[in-house]
Amino acid sequence: MFLLLAPAQPIKAEEKALRVAFDRNLPPFSQQDEHNNMTGFSLDLLRAVAAQNGYELEYVPADWEEAIQLLRAGKVDVVAGMKYTSARDEWFDFTESYFTMSDVLIVPKTNATIQTVNHLKEKVVAVHRGGTALELTESVRRVKPLIAFSEPDALHYLMIGRADAFIGNRWTAELTLRKANRWDEFEMRSGMINPTDYAFAVKQGNVALLHDLNEGLAMIHRDGTYSSIYSHYFEPYTTHLTDFWKKIVIGLTALVGAVFFGFVFIFFWNKRLQAEVNRQTAALADMLSFQRTVLDNMESGIISVDTRHTITLVNRVARELLRLDKHARGHSLHEALPQLPFIHALPKAGERMAGEFLLEQGEERVLHYYVTAFLNRFGEPAGWIISLQDRTEQKQLQARLIIQEKMRALGQLVAGIAHELRNPLTAIKTFVELLPRKLGDDRFREEFLHYVPAEVERMNKILQDLLDYSRTQPRERSWVDVGKLIDSVIGLFARRLATEEIEVHLDAPAGVWIIGDGGQIKQVMINLVMNAIEAMTDRPRKQLRVEMRQDGEGIVLELSDTGEGMEETKMAQLFQPFYTTKVQGIGLGLYLSKKIMMEHGGDIHVRSKRGEGSTFSLRFERLPADVTHIEGGYDVVESTYYR
């Protein structure tokens, strides 16, 4: 009964809170006065938009760069008033433009040397730290920017004489100078600099808020709110101009004779404009000449192409490389340079392309190319830049270096063969020289029959290993269980391992298969186990560890010993042919092991430290999941396959 009889209370809709950052010192667009009032054209527009969408505004006054950082960090929702640039578009989303902002050049009336931006060389120019005018001063050579934290601060530098000129917001400049009663001391020499859109900015991806702000802007345009706010802030300026022209009209009406002087003024003004146009044209011609000189003296060939694949620029190096005449500019890239390999697949915006191709024009030359798309100032595709470099001499030098390296390796190989064959040949020669005198000596004949065949067999083994070193042996591909293969290898050395009291640890489960020549892989493992046993001959602690582990790319089989280990200098030569640290070694075992692993698509690496032992790692790559076929038929194995 109480609930039924209780008076109904109106339910107030919950307003959405919106944190708004703005430049506290940018009149008449946004400012915070001494009474902590937030006023300005941008803020009033945002209030009207918020009222249309039911937002409650929470203001965060800040310096300009601080406001941008707050929005990037997500600590505010909107920045009230931001110039659109392509760089900022990568971080923020912008509403529809509600104002077109242009920078203006302001100088003292007494300074007649600065008429345009091109006259700012060696001049001190006051600019706002976060404004687009700073980028303009950086693009003009020999300009000395004086950077301020706000537009009024930059104008203050101009008023106290620390700067020769000011570039920035025309509306803020006039309002600040009028407020300081200094407007009559300065004049605008050049307007409409860097016209850009002025809009509300939100964090990139905040689509819902962006949609609400655009809808609100469209609504206040339709109902006349925008015009009312605009008139409130900017009519004082337009009224001032209107009154000025009214006075001119009244004066001309009252003084008919002033018409003549007006024509004289226009005549001389046109002369001045013509002289200014001539100066600007000469400056532009100088700049284009400088650019042409720079491009023609680069080491790389440069070609620019527009979106219709028409050549717009070719420098001297490109003409010499491709044997083009001076009239190639304006022709189609496909017709003028059909020999280029990339003309039918130019990269898209944001992409790059690089490579080499062989150019045959009387003589063969190797050219390296680099192609990238470029955008205009609106972020739209404007064409491509092609850079060409002649790599012919570099390639020839590389070829000569490769030949020198081969000759060095051949010299090492010949020296190794001579060294290995000299010992058995010396023994055979000795027996042959003693043969006429000791033929009847039974002991001599016994040693002759024992040592000479052994030395011949040793030379035969050297030559056989040399043949294995120089040619690829055919492999018999089959499924090989790595775990069982390891067990068989350890079994071959079981007696010797027990005799020399070597402790063996195996961690290689069966069921992991590879495709390859089981005999050759077994030979690699036998060679590594023999090396490990010989390395631990004089060690107090003898331990051989064989482990197998899997990773994302394949399996790794590691054989570790507690032998004497090696220095880094020896490890660098370990897999070279005829390099050995053994007294009776030939020096081909580890080289052939590496060769076998590479023929199986794998590799072999070594880690070692003097006095701490060595670890040899054999890597086998993972086969694709659908590879279950080998030469000779199909095998069905419920396991993981490697090669």
Grade residue 240 by pLDDT with cuts at 50, 70 and 90: very low
Grade residue 642 by pLDDT with cuts at 50, 70 and 90: very low
Grade residue 75 by pLDDT with cuts at 50, 70 and 90: very high
- Residue 240 CA neighbour count, 13 Å, CB half: 8
Q: Which among 397-401, 420-424, 427-431, 544-548 has the top mean pLDDT?
A: 544-548
Residue 163 has pLDDT above 60, yes or no: yes
Rounded Cα–Cα distance for residues 603 and 621 (Å) = 9
| CB neighbour list of residue 357: distance below 8 Å, 6 or more residues apart | 340, 341, 366, 367, 369
What is the pLDDT at residue 412?
54
More confident residue, 429 or 75: 75
pLDDT tens per residue, range 566-621: 877 777 667 766 666 665 555 667 777 777 787 777 888 888 888 888 898 888 87
Rounded Cα–Cα distance for residues 27 and 131 (Å) = 14
State the pTM of this model: 0.38
More confident residue, 81 or 292: 81
What is the pLDDT at residue 239?
46
pLDDT tens per residue, range 343-352: 667 777 767 7
The Cβ of residue 443 has, within 10 Å, a number of other Cβ atoms equal to 8
Q: What are phi and psi of 160, to 5 degrees?
A: -90, 0
Rounded Cα–Cα distance for residues 381 and 378 (Å) = 9
Residue 630 has pLDDT above 50, yes or no: no
Whether 31 and 40 have beta carbons less than 8 Å apart is answered as yes
Grade residue 193 by pLDDT with cuts at 50, 70 and 90: confident
179 residue type, one letter: K
What is the pLDDT at residue 3?
42
What is the pLDDT at residue 71?
92
What is the pLDDT at residue 584?
55
Rounded Cα–Cα distance for residues 52 and 482 (Å) = 74
Whether 469 and 592 have beta carbons less than 8 Å apart is answered as yes
What is the pLDDT at residue 42?
92
Whether 206 and 128 have beta carbons less than 8 Å apart is answered as no
Q: How far apart are the first and last CA of the chain?
A: 84
What is the pLDDT at residue 364?
77
Q: 3-class SS at 279? A: helix
Grade residue 242 by pLDDT with cuts at 50, 70 and 90: very low
Average of per-residue pLDDT values in the chain:
78
What is the pLDDT at residue 8?
41
Average pLDDT over residues 155-162: 90
What is the pLDDT at residue 542?
87
User: DSSP character for 391?
Assistant: -
Whether 313 and 374 have beta carbons less than 8 Å apart is answered as no
The residue assigned the tokens 């897999």 is: 575
Q: 3-class SS at 166? A: strand
Rounded Cα–Cα distance for residues 345 and 580 (Å) = 53
What is the pLDDT at residue 600?
74
The residue assigned the tokens 């919106």 is: 18
More confident residue, 251 or 91: 91
Average pLDDT over residues 534-550: 86
Q: 3-class SS at 582? A: coil
Q: What is the separation of C-alpha 425 from the centre of its chain, rounded to a whole number of angstroms?
A: 61
Residue 160 has pLDDT above 60, yes or no: yes
Whether 388 and 301 have beta carbons less than 8 Å apart is answered as yes
The percentage of the chain sitting over the pLDDT mark of 70, rounded to a whole number, equals 82
Q: Which long-range contacts (CB under 8 A, 24 or more apart) does 302-307 make?
A: 302/385, 302/386, 302/387, 302/388, 303/333, 303/337, 303/385, 303/386, 303/388, 304/383, 304/384, 304/385, 304/386, 305/333, 305/346, 305/383, 305/384, 305/386, 306/382, 306/383, 307/381, 307/382, 307/383
Residue 290 has pLDDT above 80, yes or no: no
Q: What are phi and psi of 261, to 5 degrees?
A: -65, -30
What is the pLDDT at residue 279?
85
Average pLDDT over residues 87-105: 88
| CB neighbour list of residue 164: distance below 8 Å, 6 or more residues apart | 107, 111, 114, 120, 123, 124, 125
Rounded Cα–Cα distance for residues 103 and 366 (Å) = 50
Lowest mean pLDDT among 403-407, 422-426, 466-470: 466-470
Q: What is the DSSP string of 472-507?
A: PPP---EEEEHHHHHHHHHHHTHHHHHHTT-EEEEE
Q: 3-class SS at 637? A: coil
The Cβ of residue 314 has, within 10 Å, a number of other Cβ atoms equal to 25
